[in-house]
Amino acid sequence: MSSGGTNPRGPRWYAGVTGYQWLVLAVASAGWIFDCFENQLFNITRGHLLPEMMGVAADHPSVKYYGDMFLGILLLGGFTGGVLFGSVADRIGRRPAMVLTILVYSIFSGLTFFAQELWQVGVLRFLVAMGTGGEWAVAAALVAEVFPPNARTHASGIFHATSTLGTWLATLAGLAVGENWRYAFLIGVVPALLVLWVRASVRESDAWSSRVVAEEGKTRGSFRELLLHRVWGPRAMLGMLLAAVGLATYWGVTVGSQDMVRDFLLARGVSPEEAAARGKFAYGIVVSLGGGLGLFCFGPFARWLGRRRAFAWALVLAAAVVPVTCYLPQSYGQLLALLPLYGFLTLGFHAGFAIYFPELFPTHLRGTGAGFCFNGGRLLAAPTLWFSGWLKSQPGVDLRLAITLLASIFLLGLLFLIFLPETKDRPLPE
């Protein structure tokens, strides 16, 4: 008899989950919430940050160009940190690696308050992204290892879904500080306090600790083994390609909704200041609300259909909803009505990365493999963002067309899924 809440006669997925396991989920999710908060701060404040740094008007084409260029830098930093700290987590343990990543992204976010040149912001964004990319890899591995098999899918999906709270916090911070964008980054130091909670509450993963004892002398977190192994290597490369689809479309399509709403309002005579504020609200609250619901729903969806079929349906529906949202609305109210569905479909399947990637690799390579897949996807997605920035900055190019073209990337994911294994109802590789 199946469990996980899919059979009404079977036990609920959370039956038997201990208080400590819930605590681990809470701590990991808090780290991921602030992870996303740090990543979103630039996106929310760039409308004021970039014009001030460059000495140009807010509607200057270079603002869109450098906005996507800096998001590309963020992806490169996320790749570097995700791969580095994922390997560190396999070598020294999940708990100390999580502490390191939180400190990295908190400290360098706070230092952005003092930036005086555009290149300084770029360097600090890269370093912040190293911490945020690493935190996801560590936390995803920890949640997968701590929760029992019947609860793992749901717990991992909930972990990733809490990112929505980080987006909301960043949006509220950005709206609160207005043109005083530096104060938003100063708030970014606060997550460093989370380190105290991690150190006091979280034990090392039993799965990692037991493998250390059983495999004494064996190299953990080896990129050579990950990439050259006949099983783990292809999984790592295909997982990275699948993540690239999600991350390229997230920054180019999902986050692009902020500029889409702003341009929609500007074309209807709304003042630039009001259009910018409404764009922040539409993306940071409305789209993110739909996205958060999609993230929470993907766990049960993947438990029911399996990982590969859930991803496939999500990618097809995401590609379909974008042109509808871009071209169908004739009023701001109609656009707002569609944006939750837009977020639900374009963002929801990202929860599958936290569910799926840790299930593809053995314990001694789990952080390395999951980090390589998710954050390697950032590396591959970066050129797409640079292309997106160039495309959106071209005179006469309709932003709706640019976003619709970028949405075709969703369909590439179907190709990669063909060669990836199904992990539903299978134990974690050892």
Which pLDDT tens digit goes with each residue over 319-373? 999 999 999 999 999 999 999 999 999 999 999 999 999 999 998 899 899 989 9
Answer whether residue 213 is part of any domain. Answer: no
- Structure pTM? 0.81
CA atoms within 13 A on the CB side of 306: 10
Closest by CA to 335, choosing from 46, 343, 251, is 343
- Residue 217: per-residue pLDDT: 53
Q: Domain range spanning residue 181? A: 19-207+219-417
Closest by CA to 379, choosing from 217, 239, 185, is 239
Check pLDDT > 70 for residue 315: yes
pLDDT average, residue stretch 283-297: 91
pLDDT bucket at 421, cuts 50 / 70 / 90: very high
Token couple for 235: 């999984």
Q: What pLDDT, in 10s, does the model give residues 169-189?
A: 888 888 888 888 999 998 888
8 A C-beta contact, residue 34 and residue 270: no
**Rounded to whole angstroms, how far apart are CA atoms 346 and 343?**
5
Answer whether residue 12 is part of any domain. Answer: no
Q: Which CATH number do you get for residue 151?
A: 1.20.1250.20
Average per-residue pLDDT in the chain?
88
The three-class DSSP label of residue 424 is: coil
Answer whether residue 11 is part of any domain. Answer: no
Q: What pLDDT, in 10s, does the model give residues 366-399?
A: 989 998 999 888 888 878 777 777 777 777 678 8
Check pLDDT > 70 for residue 6: no
Answer whether residue 214 is part of any domain. Answer: no
**Rounded to whole angstroms, how far apart are CA atoms 415 and 401?**
24
Q: What pLDDT, in 10s, does the model give residues 204-255?
A: 888 888 866 556 555 677 888 999 999 999 999 999 999 999 988 988 899 8
Answer whether residue 430 is part of any domain. Answer: no
Closest by CA to 341, choosing from 297, 286, 304, 408, is 286
**Rounded to whole angstroms, how far apart are CA atoms 418 and 416?**
5
- Residue 216: per-residue pLDDT: 57
Domain count across the chain: 1
User: What are the DSSP calls for 170-208, one per residue?
Assistant: HHHHHHHHTT-HHHHHHHTTGGGGHHHHHHHHPPPPHHH
8 A C-beta contact, residue 305 and residue 350: no
Contacts of residue 429, Cβ cutoff 8 Å, sequence gap at least 6: 359, 360, 361, 362, 363
pLDDT bucket at 4, cuts 50 / 70 / 90: very low
The three-class DSSP label of residue 315 is: helix
Answer whether residue 36 is part of any domain. Answer: yes
For residues 11 and 32, the model is more confident at 32
Burial of 316 per CB tally in 10 Å (0-12, 13-18, 19+): middle
pLDDT bucket at 9, cuts 50 / 70 / 90: low
**Rounded to whole angstroms, how far apart are CA atoms 91 and 221?**
6
Helix (H) or strand (E) holding 150: helix 149-161
